[in-house]
Structure 1
Amino acid sequence: MIKVRVQSLGLDQNTKSPVVILQEDGGSRVLPIWIGPAEASAIAMELAGMKFPRPLTHDLFPLLIRGLGGTLTRVLITRVHDNTYFAELVITRGDEMFTIDARPSDSIAIALRTRADLFTTDDLLTNASIEVPGPGETAFPDPGSGEEASGPQPGLSPEQLKEYLRKLDPEDLGRFNP
């Protein structure tokens, strides 16, 4: 397994779906995973350090794990089948270790909140192929600019991301239609 980190969030211009980009630590390979708007928002809020007075959905799971005496040690993004990615939460409690099947988007949001490491396979990183916006390319307009809002720009500082999220209207995220 290869350690990865959240490199950025973006929007697939073809599907208008949010995409989380994972990048291998110390390397240049990336793994794009298409996710829902709610999960993208949960990831973006944690990356920006935004906290709410009451726990949101992705805040509850870490509280539950800790309350039961466990620790989320790592998240494994294990495979893709029919364009669906699979992940596992690896939890330890005392001498016990167990895994829970989970969606990668939820797993990433929870891992960010618990500071758990993210891992994926060499095969997934090798077979991923996307275009990541280069320096100076604007893939995400500023909310309130009149352009369609699609997500924060890759490479924003935490303060810029916080400001982006403050200006974001929930309607800008679009609607999820299963």
Structure 2
Amino acid sequence: MIKIRVQSLGLDQSTKSPVVILQEEGGPRVLPIWIGPAEASAIAMELAGMKFPRPLTHDLFPLLIRGLGGTLTRVLITRVHDNTYYAELVIQRGDEMFTVDARPSDSIAIALRTEAQLFTTEDLLTNASIEMPSSGEAADFSQAPVDEGGETPQGPQPGLSPEQLKEYLRKMDPEDLGRFNP
């Protein structure tokens, strides 16, 4: 597994859909994942350090984990299947370690609140990532990658072959993504 971090949140200018950009630690590859506006807001608020007097939805899950005697140790972005990313929350309670299936956007929002580490597979970074460009090659958003599973597709076209997805991501310039404002 490769350690990653939230590099930024963006807004796909062609579809106005939020995109979370995950970057490998110490490396140039980034993994963009198109997400829903509510999840983007939850991530943006935590990155900005915004706190509320009452817990919001993504604040409740860490409270529940702790209340049940557990700790979120890490989040794994494990795979992409049929243009949908999958993630797992890895929770430890005493000597017991278990995983919970979750959407990557929710997982990232929760990981930021618990300071849990984020990881992905070498396969995803090889086949579904891009390198931070050094020159300004324009992005073509006519066929964007994947949606978040269970959410309305808002950018990517479903049914891209692995080679089409890889080519799209290779051409993508993260600078073409606008800033996301909750």
Aligned to 1:30: 30
Aligned to 1:170: none
Amino acid in structure 1 at the alignment position of 2:52? F
Structure 1 unmatched runs, 5+? 141-150, 153-164, 166-178
Aligned to 1:139: 178
Aligned to 1:143: none
C-alpha distance in 2 between matches for 1:96 and 1:8: 33
C-alpha distance in 1 between matches for 2:39 and 2:46: 11
CA contact (8 A) 2:12 2:178 kept: no
Aligned to 2:98: 98
Structure 1 residues 105-144: aligned runs within 5 Å? 105-127=105-127, 128=129, 129=169, 130-133=172-175, 139-140=178-179
Structure 1 residues 9-158: aligned runs within 5 Å? 9-127=9-127, 128=129, 129=169, 130-133=172-175, 139-140=178-179, 151-152=180-181
Shift in alpha-carbon separation, 1:96–1:138, aligned structure 2, 3 A: closer
Cα displacement (A) at 1:139 = 2.9
Amino acid in structure 1 at the alignment position of 2:15? T
C-alpha distance in 2 between matches for 1:112 and 1:75: 10
Aligned to 2:155: none
Shift in alpha-carbon separation, 1:60–1:52, aligned structure 2, 3 A: same
Aligned to 2:133: none
Aligned to 1:175: none
C-alpha distance in 1 between matches for 2:17 and 2:42: 15
Amino acid in structure 2 at the alignment position of 1:12? D
Amino acid in structure 2 at the alignment position of 1:64? L
Q: Point out 4+ residue stretches in structure 1 off by more than 6 angstroms.
A: none
C-alpha distance in 2 between matches for 1:84 and 1:131: 21
CA contact (8 A) 2:11 2:177 kept: no
Cα displacement (A) at 1:13 = 1.9
Identity %: 84
C-alpha distance in 1 between matches for 2:15 and 2:90: 32
3-state SS of paired residue (2:27): coil
Taking structure 1 as the reference length, the TM-score comes to 0.76
Structure 2 unmatched runs, 5+? 130-168
Cα displacement (A) at 1:37 = 0.2
3-state SS of paired residue (2:178): coil
3-state SS of paired residue (1:55): coil
Across the two proteins, how many residue pairs are aligned to each other? 140
C-alpha distance in 1 between matches for 2:178 and 2:9: 11
Amino acid in structure 2 at the alignment position of 1:139? G
C-alpha distance in 2 between matches for 1:99 and 1:18: 27
CA contact (8 A) 2:73 2:91 kept: yes
